[in-house]
């Protein structure tokens, strides 16, 4: 090899190497496709969330800023975090808010590589008793079942200070699964197309849901405190399995771990050392002790399977009723003990955010009628009017645990228990087995998931009345409409408003006249 050829070859090699180095260091385009969110506010801190979209599997620096004005001329806190591939390039910051801004509206945003995210609005919880405080709560948001119009209304509701999501934030089914029949026509097809099982599956499904502009609007407008229910994992979950988990889907423990990991990545929830212990509490002065519970995953023993008591389409009612009275954990001993320690008479109101209807809900006699066609009508006819629980997935399937819980919460001044899961709206007085008043139950309608009225049609109002007549503690129900619940909390009473929308099948809808109830402090409701 002559010297001239060697030099040319060396120059070519070095120039090609520099091009490779440049291309490796070149910044790939990023974007804030999923907007921003905030959650788990305390009296001094709040979680700020965002996610970077990037095809580059590297860590990316992200700056965050909090301001007391929308122009961000006055920065009250700031810092730098890192979007890591191992966390799906999600970012969570536990931002401290200076005490002088306690309970006030503040604004936040993220920056990275010259890009700026949407501006979010949030606040910490008041240290002192506010004159009033408004909590909105919701559940059961099925993307392919319809549009998230109720989220949009919640986001625009200027009275709402804090949003609670009581679970079924997403659903696990395939594109051909539950409530998906009109998804393609509405442009509401989910990814991935299969039922979600792997970590990547759960991440893709969150991405589908969080691409919804109305959900983005809600998250960037209000702080949210959330708990999971079953569909964040899979239908009718308990601590060691689920109705909708089969052996060919692998180990349930692996699926549960994937679901929990994706939940913590995508939700504005404070990190915990033991992530499966999701229960936690929040203080709003001495006005509200808010306790968020897990009635789904950590402590729950397997539900009683009513179908196992049926032979030749005949239910063995006596054996079924006997087995219902056997001890069976729902909260579990550890969580029940935690509730006992967190109950404090100094708080005017104890509010429990949890997943399930707690008051007894018996099937009314009208279900003996042939007018109510159902694939399980033979079972409905046998239980209608019998004062025997039919839904063992709810607290009705855990009556001894319910009595333990009632005994624990008797130490508080006044109790309001919130519920999701059922897709229908409920308002009940709560009594224990000794007929002692324990509190008020407020059950949220669905954001978009099918309700009882979707299958009953014109008979819905008749059935609603029949439920109220059959269940002495049930004061009202609505199985027709989707929406959310708003609670305006004051010292002496809480004004509860059920806010409904006219449809989820179109983005053109009407906000209906709300149904309103006043809950007096430590008193049963009387119409």
The two structure tokens encoding residue 283: 């203080």
Residue 340's SS3 state is helix
CA–CA–CA angle 527, 461, 515 (5° rounding): 45
- The partner residues of 65 in beta bridges, in order of sequence, read 78, 109
So what's the pLDDT on residue 1? 47
CA–CA–CA angle 426, 390, 314 (5° rounding): 155
Look up residue 139 and give its DSSP letter.
B
pTM for the complete prediction? 0.94
From residue 27, alpha-carbon distances to 23, 183, 388, 471 in Å are: 9, 37, 64, 63
Low-confidence stretches of the chain (pLDDT < 70) are 1-27, 373-376
Domain boundaries, the chain: 23-124, 125-520
So what's the pLDDT on residue 27? 65
So what's the pLDDT on residue 257? 98
Q: What gap in Å lies between CA 56 and CA 189, rounded to an integer? A: 27
Residue 384's SS3 state is coil
Q: What gap in Å lies between CA 419 and CA 523, rounded to an integer? A: 19
Q: What gap in Å lies between CA 326 and CA 323, rounded to an integer? A: 5
So what's the pLDDT on residue 21? 37
Going by C-beta distance under 8 Å and a sequence separation of 6 or more, which residues neighbour residue 233? 172, 242, 255, 256, 259, 260, 297
Domain 23-124 in CATH: superfamily? Answer: Purple acid phosphatase-like, N-terminal (2.60.40.380)
Is residue 209 left, alpha or beta, with left meaning phi > 0 and alpha meaning psi from -120 to 50?
alpha
So what's the pLDDT on residue 370? 79
So what's the pLDDT on residue 7? 42
So what's the pLDDT on residue 6? 44
CATH 3.40.50.10140 at 125-520, yes or no: no
So what's the pLDDT on residue 12? 45
């Amino acid at each position: 090899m002559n010297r001239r050829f060697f030099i040319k070859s060396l120059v070519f090699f070095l120039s090609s190497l520099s091009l490779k180095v440049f291309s490796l260091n070149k910044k790939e385009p990023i974007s804030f496709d999923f907007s921003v969110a905030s959650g788990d506010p305390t009296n001094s801190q709040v979680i700020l969330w965002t996610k970077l979209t990037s095809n580059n599997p590297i860590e990316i620096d992200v700056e965050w800023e909090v301001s007391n004005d929308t122009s961000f001329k006055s920065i009250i806190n700031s810092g730098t975090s890192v979007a890591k591939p191992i966390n799906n390039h999600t970012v969570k910051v536990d931002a401290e808010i200076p005490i002088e801004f306690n309970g006030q509206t503040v604004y936040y945003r993220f920056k990275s590589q010259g890009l700026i995210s949407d501006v979010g609005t949030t606040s910490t919880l008041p240290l002192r008793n506010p004159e009033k405080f408004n909590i909105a709560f919701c559940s059961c948001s099925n993307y392919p079942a319809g549009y998230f119009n109720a989220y949009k209304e919640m986001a625009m509701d200027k009275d709402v200070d804090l949003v609670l999501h009581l679970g079924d934030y997403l659903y696990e089914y395939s594109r051909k699964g539950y409530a998906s029949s009109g998804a393609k026509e509405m442009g509401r097809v989910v990814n991935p197309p299969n039922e979600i099982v792997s970590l990547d599956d759960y991440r893709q499904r969150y991405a589908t849901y969080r691409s919804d502009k109305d959900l983005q609007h809600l998250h960037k407008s209000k702080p949210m405190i959330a708990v999971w229910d079953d569909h964040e994992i899979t239908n009718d979950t308990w601590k060691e399995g689920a109705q909708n988990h089969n052996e060919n889907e692998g180990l349930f423990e692996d699926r549960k771990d994937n679901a929990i990991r994706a939940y913590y990545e995508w939700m504005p929830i404070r990190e915990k050392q033991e992530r499966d212990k999701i229960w936690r509490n929040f203080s709003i002065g001495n006005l509200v002790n808010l306790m968020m519970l897990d009635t789904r995953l950590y402590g729950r023993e397997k539900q009683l399977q009513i179908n196992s008591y049926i032979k030749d389409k005949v239910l063995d009612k006596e054996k079924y009723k006997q087995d219902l009275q056997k001890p069976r954990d729902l909260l579990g001993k550890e969580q029940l003990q935690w509730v006992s320690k967190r109950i404090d008479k100094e708080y005017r109101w104890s509010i429990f955010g949890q997943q399930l209807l707690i008051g007894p809900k018996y099937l009314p006699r009208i279900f003996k009628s042939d007018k109510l066609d159902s694939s399980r009508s033979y079972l409905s006819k046998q239980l209608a009017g019998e004062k025997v629980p039919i839904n063992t997935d709810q607290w009705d399937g855990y009556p001894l645990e319910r009595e333990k819980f009632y005994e624990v919460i008797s130490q508080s001044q006044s109790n309001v228990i919130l519920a999701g899961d059922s897709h229908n709206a409920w308002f009940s007085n709560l009594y224990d087995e000794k007929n002692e008043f324990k509190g008020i139950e407020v059950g949220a309608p669905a954001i978009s998931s099918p309700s009882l009225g979707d299958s009953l049609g014109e008979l819905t109002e008749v059935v609603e009345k029949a439920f109220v007549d059959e269940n002495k503690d049930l004061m009202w129900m609505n199985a027709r409409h989707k929406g959310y619940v708003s609670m305006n909390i004051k010292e002496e009473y809480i004004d509860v408003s059920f806010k409904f929308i006219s449809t989820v099948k179109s983005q053109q809808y009407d906000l209906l006249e709300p149904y309103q109830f006043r809950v007096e402090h430590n008193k049963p409701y009387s119409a």
